[in-house]
Each structure stands twice: as C-alpha cells, then as structure tokens.
Amino acid sequence: MTALALILVVAAAFAHSLWNFLAKKASGGLPFVWIFTGLASLIYFPVATGVFLIQRPHLGLPNLLMILATAAVHSAYFLLLDMAYRTGDMSLAYPIARGTGPLLSAAAGILLLNERPSPLALAGIGLMISGMLLLTGNVAALKHPGTRRVILYALACGATISLYTVLDKVSVSRLGTPPLILDWGTNFGRFLILTPVALRYMSSVREQWRLNRKRAFGVALLSPLAYILILTAMATCPVSYVAPAREISILIGSIMGARLLSEQQAAVRIAGSAAMAVGLIALALG
C-alpha cells in the first residue's frame, strides 16, 4: 500500500468514527437522520453533478431501481444504528455493527456455498467471535434488557451493512453506476423515503434542528467523505489492501465511545474491538 493510500484510509477511518460519535451524541431518531440526509444531498450535489457531467454515465431503469433499493436498506441501517446508540454505548454498538456484516458473509460462504477458508481466515473468524464475546460482556450483563436490545439493534444494523454492500457491488460492477453518483443517489433516495414520516413530526424535526444542527452538518459532511476517501484509495491501491486497513475504524470508534463519552468497561471493550479489528484484517487477507 502506498503512503498516500494509507493516509487516505486512516483519514476515512477517523471520518467514519467521528460521524458515528456525532450521531451517538445526537441520538435524535428519525428527525435527525432526515436532517443530515437532506444536508448531505445538498452538500454533495455539486460533486455528483460534476462527476455526471464528466463521465456521462448511462443511468437506466435498472440503475435507478438499484439506487432506490440500496436507499431503502441504508434508511434501515441509519435508523437501526440510531436506535442502538439511543439504547446503549457506542463502544458496544459500533464494533458489533461494523463487524457483523463481514462475519455474516463469511458464515454464509462456509455454510451455504461450501467455501473452505484458509487457516488465516479461520483464525480471523475466531478472533472476531472472541472480540464480540468480550464486547457483549458476561452472562449477567446479557440478562439486562437494555444490553440485549443494543446488541440486537447492532446485529441487525450489521446485517443491513452486509445487504447494502451486495447491492452497491451490483450497482457499481454490473450496472456501471459511478460510485459517487450511487452514494449521492442513495442519500437523496433516503431523504425522499423518510420525508413522508418526517413531515408528520415537524415539531421534533424543528427541535433536532435547534439542538443538533451542528452535529447534523458534521454527519452530513463526514459520512459521504469517508466513502469518497476509500474510493480514492482504491483507485491507487488494490482493494485487498484497502478493505482490511479501513477496519481500524472499529478500534477508533470504540476508543471514542469509551474515552470521550466516559462509557463503562472501557478496557474490556477496547480489547474486544482490537480483537475484532485484527480478526477482520486476517479474514480479508485470508
């Protein structure tokens, strides 16, 4: 990996962790998600327009339907993530949500597709499971309804990550949708999907704008930026190097939650996040 690609990947990891930190601080539900989605659509509209005018991609009905489908899944992703953050700690929810998708993909490959992972990949899976067990804590903690809820929300969130990753892959590789157009279309599609519900709760929207508009601007800027940085890194470096390296965000996000939000069981959760990050890297390289 080149020095430039490494800098881009690390910057993307910090951007991704930071917007999750801002989302956790806001924990504003659907009104907050709707606000930052609309802001992201506005902020990145000139970028998407520039890409469209330069590349002149053909966007037919299949492209638009796939964008709408991934927008719907992304809507579920952000709402589930918000519910996880409103229910429990970031240092617990973030690494589980980020790690569930690759773990589910690996499990599906083994159980359904008869894949045989390498010893390094198997070691990575073992580390991920061990890290998740550390994160979820002891059996007594799991008996608490709040802990169970945040874990379930994070697991469901991770499942949506796995699903929209597949949809995005099809959009980009098979249908030829430019990634930046896909990202902007997904944001705008999510804004349209959530608008009918948001309009029914305009008092809550106005309250979120008053309380959390700075955080909303931060999420609107950083969430697409993290993806753009990864795309730029992949343009100069093999994806097999970029994908594992970006998982450092799991550790960064856990540290942010544990230290900046003064969450409980900081040392154990950071250790669990580190195990998951290393496991994901081993899984990707294996």
DSSP-based three-state secondary structure for 281: helix
Does pLDDT of 116 surpass 90?
A: no
CA nearest to 254, candidates 128, 98, 147: 98
Does pLDDT of 182 surpass 60?
A: yes
- Mean pLDDT over each residue of the chain, to the nearest integer: 84
Contacts of 170 (CB under 8 A, 6+ apart): 66
Give the pLDDT band (50/70/90) at residue 128: confident
What are 15-42's pLDDT values in tens digits?
999 999 999 999 999 999 999 999 999 9
Give the pLDDT band (50/70/90) at residue 121: confident
* Rounded Cα gap, residues 246 and 98, in angstroms: 11
Q: Give the C-alpha distances (Å, rounded to integers) separating 209 from 36, 80, 172, 204, 224.
A: 10, 21, 34, 9, 20
Mean per-residue pLDDT, 154-167: 87
Question: Which amino acid makes up residue 237?
Answer: C
Give the pLDDT band (50/70/90) at residue 6: confident
Does pLDDT of 141 surpass 60?
A: no
Instruction: Find the domain containing 177 and state its range.
Output: 3-285
* Rounded Cα gap, residues 135 and 131, in angstroms: 6
What are 36-64's pLDDT values in tens digits?
999 999 999 999 999 999 989 989 999 99
Mean per-residue pLDDT, 178-194: 93
Following CA atoms 29, 35, 37, 43 in sequence, which dihedral angle do they give, to the nearest 10 degrees? -150
Report helix, strand and coil shares of the chain as percent, to nearest 5. Answer: 85, 0, 15
**Beta strands of 24-116 (E only): which ranges?**
none
Give the pLDDT band (50/70/90) at residue 113: low
Does pLDDT of 185 surpass 70?
A: yes
Count the domains in the chain: 1
